């Protein structure tokens, strides 16, 4: 039996928002979203290093209009060994952040298997930076699985490990059109306007 656990908490609305609004500048297609099989393989490899138990949870908001479309994805997620938390989006403020915090804190309080690492797949530093500090203070490793350029508050937490989403093998079918300092060529690059004059 394993003496520790790795918990991955995927804030799906946040990842979709960053991917769509900040990187692609449009709604991502299914082929442009993270691949659950690649994420599962990455997590299994991470847990195998220390023979840790694995738990992966995807959190998503659904409206009445989007519910049926999300059900197919939820089945794929569940068949891949992930848990899925669906919450009705009844108001603009109805978010999954509190539900993610509740699950992580519940697992951190459990004795066996003891929580050894939390992988936060969210850019929401306002919601999760303080949680990361608490976990780190308790000796629990915290990894931010993010696009680092869009998670400055979270990745600046002292002691947090940062893994770029595009560094997970096969997570995206093709490279994303990101603009980061590392991708900026030495000779410079023109950025075309996004709107009309």
Q: Is the model's pLDDT at 180 over the cut of 90?
A: no
Residue in 152, 85, 143, 80 with CA at minimum distance from that of residue 116: 143
Q: Is residue 175 exposed (0-12), middle (13-18) or buried (19+ Cβ within 10 Å)?
A: exposed
Residue-level pLDDT at 139: 96
Grouping H, G, I as helix, E, B as strand and the rest as coil, residue 74 is helix
Residue-level pLDDT at 11: 97
Residue range 4-183 forms a domain whose CATH class is alpha beta
Q: Is the model's pLDDT at 3 over the cut of 60?
A: yes
> What mean pLDDT is reported for the chain?
92
d(CA 154, CA 149): 10
Per-residue pLDDT band at 91 (split at 50, 70, 90): confident
Per-residue pLDDT band at 121 (split at 50, 70, 90): very high
Residue-level pLDDT at 1: 53
Residue in 127, 162, 130 with CA at minimum distance from that of residue 147: 162
């Amino acid at each position: 039996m394993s003496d520790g656990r790795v918990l991955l908490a995927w804030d799906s609305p946040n990842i979709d928002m960053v991917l769509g609004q900040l990187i692609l500048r449009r709604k991502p297609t299914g082929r442009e979203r993270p691949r659950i099989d690649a994420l599962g393989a990455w997590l299994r490899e991470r847990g195998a290093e220390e023979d840790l138990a694995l738990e992966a949870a995807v959190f998503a908001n659904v409206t009445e209009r989007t519910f049926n479309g999300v059900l197919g994805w939820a089945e794929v997620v569940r068949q891949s060994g992930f848990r899925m938390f669906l919450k009705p989006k009844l108001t603009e403020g109805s978010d999954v952040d509190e539900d993610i915090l509740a699950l992580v804190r519940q697992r951190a309080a459990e004795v066996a298997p003891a929580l050894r690492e939390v992988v936060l797949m969210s850019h929401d530093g306002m919601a999760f930076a303080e949680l990361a500090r608490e976990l780190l203070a308790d000796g629990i490793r915290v990894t931010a699985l993010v696009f680092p350029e869009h998670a400055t508050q979270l990745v600046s937490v002292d002691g947090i490990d940062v893994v770029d989403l595009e560094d997970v093998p096969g997570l995206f079918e093709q490279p994303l059109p990101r603009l980061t300092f590392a991708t900026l060529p030495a000779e410079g690059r023109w950025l075309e306007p996004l709107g009309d004059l």
